[in-house]
Amino acid sequence: MVGNSKPQTHHVAVLAFPFGSHAGPLLSLVLRLAAAAPQVAFSFLTTSKANAALFSKSPLSLHNVKAYNVPDGLPDDFVLSCNPEVAVGFFLKAAPENFMRSLKDAEAATGLRVGCLVSDAFFWFVGDMAEEMKVPWVPVWTGGPRSLLVHVDTDLIRQRLGTSGGGKQTLDFLPGFSRFQMDDLPEGIVGKLESPLATLLHKMGQKLPKATAVAINSFEEVDPEVVNVLKSRFQKFLNVGPFSLIPPSPSPSPPPLLNDESGCLEWLDTQKPASVAYISFGSVVTPPPHELAAFAEALIESGFPFIWSFRGNIEEILPKGYDKMSLNGKILSWAPQVQVLQHSSTGVFVTHCGWNSILESIAGGVPMICRPFFGDQNLNMRTVEAAWGIGVGVEGGLITKPAAIKALELVLKQKEGEEMREKLKVLQNLAQQAVEWNGSSAQAFNSLVEIVTK
């Protein structure tokens, strides 16, 4: 075990959302808090499946972090559906009662009453639990500041634009949103409002202003106008990221050797600066096979060097002759994304526009080609393209061979790509300054430590 073994005097329960890429960033934050506050016991509560995946990957063990399993709420005869919202709905319906039961188990195991609740921001009901227990509640938003603001201001948006959804009406009544349209909004704000997720997000937006503090994996300087609005909406708004720029706590000594079995970092060393396309669409959804095939054809025809973190059966999905692609690049089942994006040879990131990926791209100074799918990803793409000018969406919204070639050439060969890189240098420096010892994110993290240790 790593860490101080002093007796624990405080107890924080952490309630994690087990779907998508929510729980990983929350655990990263908890590990930092646990290292900064060794006298606090942190009980990490989520499903057994999520805990097994998270704690098998975590390179560090701290004496004051322990996982507790929460039932997934699925009936015994449940058959996995292609629609993940079904499983989410079952989980959410049973979540308040199941989390409370696991929380009591954690109190019994530690011998310490829970004195603070930290949760995924999705769990609006934790605010009610905290009120009943008379303890602070700190929800953690794992997306970006713009998506957070539109959820907090959902009632205002519906009042101004109605609830039917779709359309090109601008969102200029929201500060910093003059270049955004109704079509850019995440699902659940307008349009289909009956789904469990839409109900959850609406209640979340109404409940978050009552929280002790709201924390986010971001840095104030990335979107100051929107951040200032959020500061006015919440009792405290703590930007404590980007997590990818903050070393694990405590830092192991000596640092572990990076696992690069594929040799992709060594291969990047042989490429020209800012010349390589890195392709990864995240771990939740991938484009349909015809789009993946179209992108492969674009890579073959354009000849750009690439690293592709590919999920799925390559032989079934990619076009005939895909083996020629190995002449210009690497197709891998997994790549060390943070290190790839921080390598000087990486010139563009083809991404689904998840918030974690955007932050990692900013930290590496790499422009983006965006192919979003759902949730906040479309809004993130518009932020990258229209608000910050550090990337471009795929023309028409879907990957075709001509659209992919056009986007690759724009970023890797043309003046627009150079302009994106210059803008990214500014954001990259601001992100690095934010996490330094007296930076805005470091100060916000210290405030968070004070809240959870009271």
CATH number at residue 84: 3.40.50.2000
Placement of tokens 């690497």 in the chain: 330
Q: Is residue 5 part of a domain?
A: no
pLDDT at position 257, please? 47
In a domain, 233, yes or no: yes
Question: What percent of the chain clears pLDDT 90, i.e. is strictly above it?
Answer: 78
Query: Would you state the pLDDT for residue 82?
Result: 57
What integer best gives the mean pLDDT of the chain? 92
Listed ranges 5-19, 27-41, 253-267; the one with the highest mean pLDDT: 27-41
Q: Are residues 51 and 186 in the same domain?
A: yes
Determine whether 183 is an active site residue: no
For residue 425, being part of any structural domain is answered with: yes
Model confidence band, residue 255 (pLDDT cutoffs 50, 70, 90)? very low
User: How many domains would you assign to the chain?
Assistant: 2
Q: How far is CA 347 from the centre of its chain?
A: 22
**Predicted confidence (pLDDT) per residue in 14-50, tens digit:** 999 999 889 999 999 999 999 999 999 999 999 999 9
CB atoms within 10 A of CB 97: 11
Asked if pLDDT for residue 4 goes beyond 70, the answer is no
Domain assignment of residue 2, yes or no = no
- Domain containing 337: what range? 264-432
Q: What is the DSSP letter of 2?
A: B
Does 409 or 322 have the greater pLDDT score? Answer: 409
Let me know if residue 426 belongs to a domain.
yes
Are residue 331 and residue 438 in the same domain, yes or no? no
SS3 181: strand
The pLDDT tens digits of the residues spanning 106-137 come to: 999 999 999 999 999 999 999 999 999 999 99
**362 within a domain of the structure (yes/no):** yes
Looking at residue 195, its pLDDT comes to: 83
Is residue 52's pLDDT more than 90?
Answer: yes
136 burial type by CB count under 10 A (0-12 exposed, 13-18 middle, 19+ buried): middle
Please check whether residues 285 and 366 belong to one and the same domain: yes
**Whose CA is closest to 19, among 56, 54, 61?**
54
In this structure, the answer to whether residues 130 and 185 fall within a common structural domain is: yes
Q: Please give the share of the chain, as a percent, with pLDDT higher than 70.
A: 94
From the list 22, 151, 202, 352, the catalytic residue is 22
Over residues 275-314, the pLDDT tens digits come to 999 999 988 888 999 999 999 999 999 999 999 999 888 8
The reply to whether 349 and 215 lie within a common domain is: no
* Whether residue 130 is found in the same domain as residue 216: yes
pLDDT tens for 206-219 read: 999 999 999 999 99
Same-domain status, 243 and 364: no
Helix axis angle for 145-152 and 154-161, nearest 10°, is 70
Q: Do 174 and 35 sit in the same domain of this protein?
A: yes
Same domain, 105 and 230: yes
**Residue 53 within any structural domain of the chain:** yes
Q: Per the residue annotation, which of 72, 120, 184, 223 is the catalytic one?
A: 120
363 shares its domain with 439 = no
Across the range 369-397, mean pLDDT stands at 97
306-309 and 276-280: which strand pairing?
Answer: parallel
Judged against a pLDDT cut of 50, whether residue 90 lies above it is answered with yes
Taking the C-alpha atoms of residue 377 and residue 359, their distance in angstroms, rounded to an integer, is 13
Q: If you search the block for the tokens 């096979």, which residue do you land on?
A: 289
